[in-house]
Every structure is written in C-alpha cells, then in structure tokens.
Structure 1
C-alpha cells in the first residue's frame, strides 16, 4: 500500500477472488492490532467474528456478485487480541474479480445511535409524562369547574337564604317593636323611652302601663347576650309581664312569675341557659311612693327637685339564676318634680362612672323630651368614635 492511503482515517482492504487478503492499509492494521506480515495472504475469515463469517459467505458475497458493490454493511471484525470491533463496510468488485473494501469503525456511531435511541426513549417518556400531566391537569380543571359551579350554586342559595332571613328579621323586628309601649304624658307624670338594637333584634325590652287611676307599672329587662336568641326570650316574657302588670299584680309576684318562666324555658336545655336582669317600678301618684325590685340590673337613678338623689340598687341576682328565689321589694316616697332614669348596661358602659348622674343633674331643668334626645346624642357620639355598642335602652320619668 502506498503512503498516501496508509494515513487516511478509514481502513482499506483488497481481497482476491478467494477472499484472501492482498492489501491492507496501516489504519486498519492498527485497528486490528496485526502486523502486515501476519495478514497478507491470509483468508479474510482471520479478521472476522464467527457470526460475521457466516454472514460474509451466505449474504455478503452473493449480494456482491449480483450488484458488484455493497454499501454500508454493518458487521464485526475480530482483532488480534479477540476484541470485537463494529465497522461499516463498503465494497466493490473490479473487472478482474478483485474486491476493494473500505472499512469505517462504527463504535462512535453505535454510541451515537444508542444515545439517540436513549434520547428518543427519554423524549417518548417525557411526552407520555406530559400527556399524563396534561390529563391530570384536565381532570383538575374539570374538578375545579365543578367546584366553582357548586360554589356558585351555594352562593346563590346563601344569597337567597340571606335575603329571606333578612326579610324575616325585619318582620321580627317590627313585631318586637310593636310590643313596646308608647310615651305617657299627663298631669301626674311623663314617661319617655329610647330603644336601639345593636343587631336586627334586641335582648332589651320594656313596658310601662297605667294600672288604675293612681298607679303605674314600669319594667325594663335585659336578657343575656343580644340578637335572635335573646330576642326570642324577651318575646316569651313580654306577654307575661304585660298581663301581670295590667291586672295589678304585686312587684314580688311579677318578678317571681318571670323567674319561673325563665327556668321553664331552659328546664331541659342547660346548654341554652340564659339569665335576665330586670327592674320593676310601681308608682303610686296618690301616695307619692315608688315601690321597686331590682334583680341584678344596673341601678336606676332618682333625682329630686332640690338635687337630692338615690340609686335603686340591685337587691338580688338576675331572674333565671336560681330556682325558687324570693324577691323582696323596697319603697320610698318621692317629691313632685323628681326625675328617674332607668337604663340597661348598653347605656352605662360607654361612659365613665358617675356620668349618668351628672347628665341627669345637668339637664334636670330641661324638658323630658330634650333630655332624652341629648342622651341619645351622647350615645351616638360614642359610636362615631369607634365604641361598639350593645343593645341600648333607657326610660326617663318625670313625677309631676
């Protein structure tokens, strides 16, 4: 072989008609790790693996005879040390029958093919994973759409329920307010009231009634808490005290029956137990006396014409606290021109201690309606500066 073909990167091999090696270049010798003297004149089978020998005889040679050339045949050579070397073979037959072969090592190609196969496999796996993720996302999206539809349905139901509930609460508020008594103003006394619920419904309730020509009954109750539950209790009590006061029952009897009613309401429902503070006044304009019972309620304030004052303090626990309680009344005489303020804790809590006494004294000469409006404004001003009010109710009485 000449030097100009010994250095090329591919192997060159010339075979006789009998497949004996006639020429071989240096590149191929290095690949096979043979010396040239070891191969010249030897059968090509010397450098072929066993499987390639059969292929060479039964497939390659007939194909070469038929077409005179073969391109890119993949086969294996055997090195001197027995190493299998994958190669690509290009061969052609000359007119004199000599076979010229070009041999290209195929290790890198196999590696590239394997890498390509691995890359294709990885791409297919990723595509399958992508399809799986897309399917899961579609499922999640479908479930989300179903949840959104369900939420929309629930919101619509809630809105309908809220609207209907608001209508029911407004109606209940109107019914509750119809039980409140109107102002009284005659030659003997004047009574004004203020009522403000922190919610639609209130746990405060009051009533004042003329019992006969010279007696009046005034009651103010505050059920624990506020809202629907408290208002239901007040409604269960209002009919009872209306009947008792109107027929002239004693203050002790009124409180006793209200207490019994509270225990009856929760006789078998301890978890729902409520109590109720209450104050009841029986005013006799003929005798000029005030009889009262205070059951756990904030003390009413009495202010005489000359500035003398007293507190109608509590004499026992709220009604509904202890079964079988006895309620004792107190009596004092009043002077004409005196004023009394009854109130719930929603009125007193926004102010510092003694403020209501000061208010009553400051406006003792103002008309009762003016005093009522000024106290209402004071409470409103407290709300405007962030005070969260409870139910608010108060009653002002002028004893003429």
Structure 2
C-alpha cells in the first residue's frame, strides 16, 4: 500500500465484493487496536458493531452493487475491546480490475461529536443560570482552546486533501497536432473547479471543464465524485451527449431533489478530432469557450443546455465546428470571466494571436492579478489549446 495512504488521517481499506478485507491502512488498524494479520482475509463484520452489521448488509451492499458508489454513510465500527467508533463511510466499486474491489474511506466522528455536544451543554448552562456565567465562560474558553487544536488538525487535513485533489488533475497533452496550457487556482483550500484531458485514440481528444456551485469542502467532494465518473467514461470513448447525461444523472442521484444539500454544476465537454479537423461540444450552462482561427476570426461555443443537476430529462445534443487550418481555444470558469468580463477575454486572445501559448497564458494571469485588488472570492481555472 502507498505510504501516503498508510498514514492518511482517515481509515482506508479495500474489500472483495463478498465483503472480505483485502487491505487496510495503519491509521485504521491503530483506531481498531488490531494488527494487519488479524484482519486481512476476514469478513468486514469482524470490525462492525452489531447494529452496523445488519445495516451494512441491508443497505450498503445493495447500494454499492447498484450505484457503484456510496456517499457519506454513517456507521459504527467496533474496536478490539468492543468499543463503538462512529465513522462516516465513503466507498466506490472499482470494476476496472480483474477481481472487482470495493475501496472504502472511513472518517472517525467521535471527537467532533463530543466537542459539539460539550459546546451545546455549555451554551444551555449560560442561558439558564446567569449566576454561573463566569464559570460557563471559562468552560467555553477551555473548549475553544480544544477547538483551536482540532481546527489546526483540520487545516492540516485540508492541505492534504488539496494536494490529493490537485494530483488528480490530468497533465496537459502536447503532440504534433495539439498543445495545451492550464491555470488552476483555488479560492480556498479546496476547489469546486476540475478539468481533464484524455487522448481517446490516435486522432481524438476529450477535454472537460466543470465548475460545481460554490467552493470549499462540499464542492470539492462533489468534483472528486464527478472526476471518478468522467475519467472512467471518457476513457471508454463514449459520445459527448452520453457523457453529459451520465454526469447529470449522477448529480440527481446524489441529492435526490433535496434542496438542503442540492448542488448544480456547469460543464463544457469537447471532442477534438485532429484528423477530421472538427470540434464537437456540449456546453451545460458554462461560460462560452472561445475558438479563434488563424485569421483571428472568433467564435463562441455558447451554452446549449441548463447546468447539470438542475432539471431531469435534459437532452444533451452536441454542436460541431470545423477548424481546417487549426486555431486556438480558450476554456475558462466564471472565476476568470467575472473579473475580466468575456469581452476582455476575446480581446486578450486576439491581441495575443502571434504569441506562443505560454505567453498568452502569462498575459491572462497578469490581467487577473491586476483585477484581483480584493480578496479572490471564486476558484479560477482556464485552459488554452493550440490546434496545428
């Protein structure tokens, strides 16, 4: 197991489809007070509390087999001494291997629940007994110090999560027929923007850029969930319309029309065929990409449908443009277009017609930095592509 996973600040294990533990990291072993030899090869029931065993079989197993993913399921484990450990479980079924496995991430919830309960008790005491106010205030100060310690630990965990999120971004592709440059800057520790580049065959390239509503932990978790899905689908070479339909269905399944947790996502997906000299695209509520030919003529790849996750039953019909003599593409999120306005992006691209891709990227970054006199409030991401 990778050393990063072994020491990650959360439990990690893999299961067979029958629920047999295949691997388990040190963090989870320490939490459960077992060693690896005592658990590997055993059924997951060996570490579940009694109540969780029934719940796992009735809900987790059917859900992971049907949906291939489980999001934020609350369960309790049992350590070697039989003590319950509440955890938040996220899991995914990996069918790409010869023997499919279930990958599980387990985040312990015990300390967080304890601190929140203590703060609620302290607040009630303060409201009900003014005579004990000083004592309660002192108690609150103690708890705040504890929360500062927890917050510092959380910040460290967020930094690790940010690093994992950034490493999931695919590398820009450069071949004889195509060249790419990217810019990615989160407004906080974690971002709601994500992109991917995939060479589907000798002549075709799939490029996707998504922006989940908001930013921070919730948006980043959704982006990683979408990343896992589109990475698998684009690698199979499915059509642009079917890809967008699958992503849209995934968001609807995640939130089940619940307004309290509902998130939508803008997205643009392009299939570039360097042999046929075509660009097929679907734009789901995303800022319009810009295509500029060698003569400086520009064309906006405008929105064709509402954002993903808004309405069920949307038909994602692709549009197509031709680029016989090559040209330049600019894709971006609203964190780039809002401070500069789309008109400025069109102007920058035209002014940089004779510049290299890296020089054009530097010009856009300088323009953003010149406009960012206030604190950056949104994630910023753009992609430049030269077609030869």
TM-score interval (norm. to shorter): 0.5 to 0.7
Contact 1:305 1:335 in 2 (8 A): no
1:207 pairs with 193, 196, 199, which one? 196
Q: Tell me, yes or no, if the aligned pair for 1:298 and 1:345 is still in contact at 8 Å.
A: yes
SS in 1 for 2:378: coil
Residue 300 of structure 2: aligned partner: 311
In the alignment, is residue 396 of structure 1 matched against residue 384 of structure 2?
yes
Unaligned runs of 5+ residues in structure 2 are 1-128
After superposition, give the CA deviation of every residue in 1:293-329 in whole Å (9 maximum; x if it has no partner): 0011100000000111100000110011111211000
| 1:146 positional shift | 2.4
TM-score (norm 2): 0.64
User: What's the counterpart of residue 291 of structure 1?
Assistant: 280
User: Is the contact made by 1:304 and 1:335 (CA closer than 8 Å) also made in structure 2?
Assistant: no
Q: How far did 1:351 drift?
A: 1.8
Is the CA contact 2:193–2:211 (under 8 Å) kept in the aligned structure 1?
yes
| Distance 1:268-1:335 versus aligned 2 partners, 3 A rule | closer
Aligned pairs for 1:99-114 within 5 A:
none
- Matched with 1:245 is 234
| Alignment correspondent of 2:362 | 373
Aligned equivalents of 2:144, 2:206: Cα separation in 1: 49
- Decide which of 181, 185, 204 is 2:170's aligned counterpart: 181
Mapping of 1:135-214 within 5 angstroms?
143=132, 146-214=135-203
Instruction: Compute the displacement of 1:149 (Å).
Output: 2.9
Shift of 1:202: 0.8
Residues 47-66 of structure 1 mapped to structure 2, 5 A cutoff:
none
1:338 to 299, 318, 327: 327
TM-score, normalised with respect to structure 1: 0.63
* CA distance in structure 2 between the aligned counterparts of 1:260 and 1:391, rounded to whole angstroms: 25
Which of these residues, 379, 386, 390, is aligned with residue 374 of structure 2?
A: 386
CA deviations 1:119-172 (Å, max 9, x no partner) are xxxxxxxxxxxxxxxxxxxxx999465234313311211111211110111111
Q: Deviation of residue 270 (structure 1)?
A: 3.0
Which residue number corresponds to residue 360 of structure 1?
Answer: 349
Secondary structure, aligned partner of 2:169? coil
Q: What is the total number of aligned residue pairs between the two structures?
A: 260
Instruction: Tell me the SS of whatever aligns to 2:371.
Output: helix
Superposed displacement of residue 178, structure 1: 1.3
Q: Deviations over 1:45-72 (max 9, x none)?
A: xxxxxxxxxxxxxxxxxxxxxxxxxxxx
2:252 paired residue among 243, 263, 276:
263
Q: Secondary structure at the match of 2:194?
A: strand
Q: Distance in 1 between matches of 2:141 and 2:273?
A: 63
Moved over 6 A (4+): none
Aligned mates of 1:266, 1:368 — CA distance in 2: 40
| Shift in Å, 1:344 | 0.5
Aligned equivalents of 1:221, 1:246: Cα separation in 2: 17
Q: 3-state SS of the aligned residue for 2:166?
A: helix
Change in CA separation of 1:353 and 1:270 when aligned onto 2, cut-off 3 Å: closer
Q: CA RMSD in A?
A: 1.7
Cα 1:353–1:209 shift into 2, 3 Å: closer
